[in-house]
Structure 1
Amino acid sequence: MSAAREKLSGMASTHGVAISLFSGAGGLDLGAELAGFDVRAAVERHVDASMTMEKNFLKLESPVLQQDILETSTAEILKAAGLRKGQRPDLLVGGPPCTPFSKSGFWLEWKRSGLDPDATLLQEYTRVLRESQPRAFVLENVYALTYNNKASRPALTRLLREIDEAGYDCNKGVLNAADYGVPQARPRLFIVGTPKGKPTPALPNATHGGSWERRTTGSIDKPHTTAGEALEGLVTSPEREEVLGGQYGKLLDDIPPGGNYLHYTEEKGHPNPLFKWRSRYWSFLLKLDPNKPSPTIQAQPGPNVGPFHWENRRLRVAEVKRLFTFPDEFEFVGNRASIQYQLGNSVPPLLAQRVLEQVQAVLRR
């Protein structure tokens, strides 16, 4: 066992068997382990992500079930966790793919109309919830699932109904990762629950606060952790993919930290405007401000989509890990694009830990 894996495996004392669906690289799972659970089984069809899970999660009873959840029975998952017939897990965690409800996808009419086939994966989560009957569950998703539109509203209503029919009470809310010490503004929907008649976990109170999308969020007790604070002292090597080229690459140098393509507009006073006001996505040529949390980091950004480092380059893997609160020793499998995909789809482990600590406290009572 490598020193890195030994350090990860000893990060928390454990209490409770967890099974994981739609595991990705394991951000939610790492938060569960830091809160004291053992992740014993995981289902993840992405090859590199499943290998990342196996490299870092040493308490898995068997290899990650690298297959489609639609073709995976609950009995198979429980067996993979080492649970005998009649035994139930202490915890079910998972974040079904969010593409049907993501904010960036609503420009597609068929997504707005709720016709994306991935939307059914929410029902796969509630199927396993109903059949495995864990002592608690945590479901994570994009906060756009709470939008009042014809795609999200029926999906959320159905999801909550199925949770109720499975025999569970729950609490739900949108949490901004920056309000919990993560150096990234990343709002996510969390639903936590326990069987009816049992105490239901509350969502955690914010520990940090500051400005986000022209309003103040979180707690006044401690300011948001900034990107500069997160990356301070980190020694990294240059990456081949970090140089921004093409038609717009040279424009990044003159954009101030925290700015984006709007720097080159008439409204911002540029003498030779190159773009119309609000003619691009906000993240186009977006540069990190070291004095603020990072904006949300995407899984599959376009060639000119940020955030970029204030040193006028793409972020390096070690830096993105820091901005998600993955430990430096956490090892990712795959090429640069694959690792970006895994990280961009991850729940920041620190945020997950804060949610799972609330669940753990209820179960221990």
Structure 2
Amino acid sequence: MSLKAISLFSGVGGLDFGFEAAGFETRVALDLDPVACATIRLNRDWPVIEGLIADTLSSSILDAAGVSVGEADVLIGGPPCQPFSKSGYWARGDASRLNDPRADTLGQYLRVLEDTLPKAFLIENVPGLVYRGKAEGIEAIRTGISAINKRAGTKYSLEFKVLNAANYGVPQMRERVFIVGSRDGTRFEFPNPTHGEPGSGLEPFRTAWDAFADLPRPADLKSLKVQGKWADLLPSIPEGQNYLWHTERGGGQPLFGWRRRYWNFLLKLAKNKPAWTIQAQPGPATGPFHWENRRFSAHELCRLQTFPDFLQFACTRADVQRLVGNAVPSALAEKLAIEIARQFLGKNGAMDTASLVPAAQSPVPPAARPAAVPANFLHLIGSDSEHPGTGLGRSASSRAGVAA
């Protein structure tokens, strides 16, 4: 029998696909985004609740899942990271806040946790949630869990760790914090990394080539063409490089000042390395880009997030990018789900290795030779200087002038 999962802030289902591969069944998925909900319905027969979590009764979630209070094996979700201002609710126990549609998403996750009392829970979020000196978010969760335990008589534990997906076989460098707890107080031990750099004693990182090697080239390359004023410059940047190639410290032409741009400006994949983090809403010159000097197809985006193969989408490519870029890599979710099942739920027969990790592919083709800089960019040579240092750049100076 499948283990039972309740999924909040489900998005396109990155967490859910991983838990599914580890033997869990998503009994209900909830999300506000109609495109995400439509995509889940297109690919899975999970019950889907489409709407604001603040407007959704916990009893409705339980009814849709077909489970009673305390029966779900796990509650999973990645509450959007912006608002933590109402964490005081969890210290004061002010129940009137639960019906406020403006209540923060973190508080709403904890509200559903208290109302459903699953055997375990997992929260995914950005690493900034636990940064030292700026940890209001994790403290809100800690306070909320303590308040739940006091009111419900539970013993929910709480462990958190920032994980890089590449260390677990995902062909993408992507850091997120995961918070895991058990209703009976069992402390969670996060799985050790399985993949790393050569010489680490671990399996080699899975690479962009591992993700794409067996895929045919996209049929509609025209739709993946890079647009904008910098598009024609991209072919002149080698694989694995970004705009810094075209600075005085790089190997190209000094078109830009050192560190005058964001890191992912004109950033291009290297075949023999993991991808950099996929962005949900990239600008026209924001990478990473494919080494063929184009954007990724929907199938390629899914491969970089280790989603199950051949998901269907009935939306724009921009929507696909947003859905995939906001998701959790499924192979990492699978490894965490395996450990939750083993450590909390007594499923010692669970698979030992994640099935969604791509196989290593070899040989890796050599990098393509970069093109020459187009003539219409040559006027930029020597036109910019290096960044002068933290707090001294153009934007900082502009802000200082406004403040003065």
When normalised by structure 1's length, the TM-score is: 0.84
**Aligned ranges for residues 9-28 of structure 1 at < 5 Å?**
14-28=1-15
Match of 1:141 in 2: 125
Structure 1 CA distance, aligned partners of 2:3 and 2:30? 18
Q: 1:111-166: per-residue Cα shift (whole Å, max 9, x none)?
A: xxxxxx999211111111111100011111111211134xx412221112212322
Structure 1 CA distance, aligned partners of 2:142 and 2:51? 26
What amino acid sits opposite 1:354 in the alignment?
K
Q: 1:287-337: per-residue Cα shift (whole Å, max 9, x none)?
A: 001110000001001110000011111111111111111122222331101
Structure 1 CA distance, aligned partners of 2:269 and 2:70? 48
**Which residues of structure 1 form unaligned runs of 5+?**
1-13, 102-116
**Aligned ranges for residues 81-96 of structure 1 at < 5 Å?**
81-84=65-68, 86=69, 88-96=71-79
User: In 2 relative to 1, CA 327–81 (structure 1 residues): closer, same or farther, beyond 3 Å?
Assistant: same
**Aligned ranges for residues 199-278 of structure 1 at < 5 Å?**
199-210=186-197, 220-235=201-216, 236-271=218-253, 273-278=254-259
**1:39–1:57 Cα contact (<8 Å) kept:** no
Structure 1 CA distance, aligned partners of 2:131 and 2:187? 24
**Aligned ranges for residues 1-365 of structure 1 at < 5 Å?**
14-58=1-45, 60=46, 62=47, 64-84=48-68, 86=69, 88-99=71-82, 120-149=104-133, 152-167=134-149, 168-197=156-185, 199-210=186-197, 220-235=201-216, 236-271=218-253, 273-365=254-346
User: In 2 relative to 1, CA 119–27 (structure 1 residues): closer, same or farther, beyond 3 Å?
Assistant: farther
Structure 2 CA distance, aligned partners of 1:190 and 1:87? 22
Structure 1 CA distance, aligned partners of 2:310 and 2:233? 34
SS at match of 1:75: helix
SS at match of 1:163: helix
**2:83–2:106 Cα contact (<8 Å) kept:** no
Structure 2 CA distance, aligned partners of 1:137 and 1:25? 19
Deviation at 1:87, TM superposition (A): 5.3
SS at match of 1:268: coil
**1:99–1:118 Cα contact (<8 Å) kept:** no
Structure 1 CA distance, aligned partners of 2:138 and 2:342? 27
Structure 2 CA distance, aligned partners of 1:193 and 1:288? 36
Structure 2 CA distance, aligned partners of 1:23 and 1:239? 30
SS at match of 1:262: helix
When normalised by structure 2's length, the TM-score is: 0.76
Q: How many residues align?
A: 323
Deviation at 1:245, TM superposition (A): 2.8
**Which residues of structure 2 form unaligned runs of 5+?**
85-100, 150-155, 347-404
- Stretch of structure 1 that moved more, 19-28 or 139-148: 139-148
Match of 1:9 in 2: none
User: In 2 relative to 1, CA 269–287 (structure 1 residues): closer, same or farther, beyond 3 Å?
Assistant: closer
Structure 2 CA distance, aligned partners of 1:333 and 1:188? 28
Deviation at 1:187, TM superposition (A): 0.7
User: In 2 relative to 1, CA 293–269 (structure 1 residues): closer, same or farther, beyond 3 Å?
Assistant: closer
Structure 1 CA distance, aligned partners of 2:224 and 2:33? 24
What amino acid sits opposite 1:97 in the alignment?
P
Structure 2 CA distance, aligned partners of 1:148 and 1:200? 22
**Aligned-residue RMSD, C-alpha:** 2.0
